[in-house]
């Protein structure tokens, strides 16, 4: 969302305020801010202008506002017609056509129960009255809707209209307003329905696409296990950066990050950055290390029975020998249902002998974690003595067994024996 700096407040109720040097009457209280990741930008709004409590919302309206030499600020084209009423526009038009120092940057106005994202532009040329043509293409959303994903689209479409205006006076000629309305109708419908739109006007074509912004994924740690969610191994390696090309053959849902780095002979930090990028784009999911001493708990297991597609995919994925009869859903369900607190994966395998039923228990665990039928219960040692020493300094209750094993290079059995001997250490399962 916006990084707010240089805040100025404009008074409501017909008073005057300022957005730099270019604001006037505020409606219902408005705040103007500038700066998005170092780029020129701004937000004007009352309560709800920020990101808190915002929701994904459709584009409600697209309009073009321009500054007329005699009539002043006005809406020259709007789809749907009169969505922004004259009263609302008159209350906020000082933020729609601002002063020159706010031109060519994204401005967001949140007032009068609407949020308006615009890109004000001024084209200097002696052919225009007052030697300039001022306009602003705006997208309108609900006041509580998230709008940051529309900003690149508004800017790109505005740059397209600038080019059209400079080539043929497309915006300033009244004869072309009907064509502009058709463009707005196409953009509004296609972006709301398909998130993409294509505009062909004469020899000019523009492609628009809404790209949803995702939060950054959590940091990748040495003990985490990446699992590919898509079959990327068949894709040409030339499509990937060098680090991805090197580590891709070692991502199998079993190897943890530290092992991948060692086997691929790539620096661990580079592997972490690469995998974090793959997680961001939904190509990789991070799982806990698969050990037979692990304890798992079931959750949402009913979906396996309710969905024929999911159960079919599970049967195929967990088969030890795909060329033989696939394991039954009942056997698979029995295996998952046996996972409970205090029962290790080793104990379940010894009791149910999954391989006798053509079930690969490791792939079953991976499938369950991937589809969230099960979750791993991690162990966290806590030092309860007075002054920790050596490995005891890692027993804070915040570092799991898996992470301790990766950092120390010791096996889980070694850590277990040390903790059992140490009366000042307690283990928390969570």
Residues paired with 286 in a beta bridge: 226
Phi (first) and psi of residue 352, to 5 degrees: -100, -15
The pLDDT of residue 251 = 93
Question: Given a cut of 60, is residue 23 above it in pLDDT?
Answer: no
The separation between the first and the last C-alpha atoms of the chain, rounded to the nearest angstrom, is: 34
Instruction: Band the pLDDT of 26: cuts 50, 70, 90.
Output: very low
For residue 60, what pLDDT band results from cuts at 50, 70 and 90?
Answer: very high
The reply to whether the predicted model has a pTM over 0.95 is no
pLDDT at 241: 79
Q: Per-residue confidence at 53, pLDDT binned at 50, 70, 90?
A: very low
pLDDT in tens, 83-103: 999 999 899 888 898 888 888
Mean pLDDT of 45-63: 63
Report d(CA 146, CA 54) in Å as an integer.
Answer: 5
pLDDT for 360 beyond 80: yes
Residue 310 pLDDT level (bands cut at 50, 70, 90): very high
Say whether pLDDT at 264 is over 70. Answer: yes
Residue 106 phi/psi, 5° resolution? -70, 130
% of the chain at pLDDT higher than 90: 50
Tokens read off for 259: 């092992």
């Amino acid at each position: 969302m916006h990084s707010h700096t240089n805040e100025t407040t404009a008074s409501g109720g017909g008073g005057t305020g300022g957005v730099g040097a270019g604001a006037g009457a505020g409606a219902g209280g408005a705040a103007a801010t500038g700066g998005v990741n170092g780029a020129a930008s701004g937000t004007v709004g009352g309560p709800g202008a920020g990101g808190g409590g915002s929701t994904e919302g459709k584009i409600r309206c697209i309009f073009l506002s321009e500054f007329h030499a005699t009539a002043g600020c006005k809406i020259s084209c709007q789809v749907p017609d009169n969505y922004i009423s004259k009263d609302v526009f008159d209350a906020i038009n000082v933020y729609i056509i601002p002063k020159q120092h706010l031109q060519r940057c994204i401005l967001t106005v949140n007032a009068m129960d609407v949020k308006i994202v615009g890109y004000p532009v001024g084209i200097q040329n002696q052919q225009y009255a007052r030697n300039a043509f001022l306009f602003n293409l705006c997208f309108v959303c609900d006041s509580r809707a998230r709008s940051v994903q529309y900003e690149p689209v508004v800017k790109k479409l505005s740059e397209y209209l600038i080019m059209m205006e400079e080539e043929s006076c497309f915006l300033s000629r009244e004869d072309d307003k009907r064509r502009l309305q058709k463009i707005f109708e196409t953009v509004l419908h296609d972006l709301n329905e398909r998130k993409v739109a294509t505009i062909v006007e004469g020899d000019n074509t523009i492609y628009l696409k809404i790209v949803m912004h995702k939060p950054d994924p959590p940091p990748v740690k040495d003990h985490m296990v990446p699992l590919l969610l898509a079959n990327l191994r068949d894709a040409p390696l030339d499509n990937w950066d060098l680090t991805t090309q090197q580590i891709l053959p070692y991502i199998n849902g079993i190897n943890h990050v530290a092992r991948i780095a060692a086997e691929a002979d790539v620096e661990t930090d580079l592997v972490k950055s690469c995998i974090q990028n793959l997680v961001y784009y939904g190509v990789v999911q991070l799982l806990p290390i698969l050990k037979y001493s692990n304890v798992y708990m079931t959750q949402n297991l009913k979906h396996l029975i309710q969905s024929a597609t999911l159960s079919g995919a599970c049967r195929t994925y967990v088969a030890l020998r795909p060329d033989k009869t696939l394991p039954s859903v009942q056997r698979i369900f029995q295996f998952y249902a046996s996972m409970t607190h205090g029962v290790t994966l080793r104990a379940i395998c010894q009791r149910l002998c999954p391989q006798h039923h053509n079930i690969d228990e490791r792939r079953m665990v991976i499938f369950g974690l991937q589809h969230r039928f099960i979750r791993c219960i991690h162990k966290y040692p806590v030092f309860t003595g007075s002054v920790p020493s050596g490995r005891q300094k890692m027993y804070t209750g915040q570092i799991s067994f898996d992470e301790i094993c990766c950092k120390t290079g010791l096996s889980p059995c070694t850590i277990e024996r040390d903790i059992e001997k140490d009366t000042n250490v307690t283990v928390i399962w969570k």
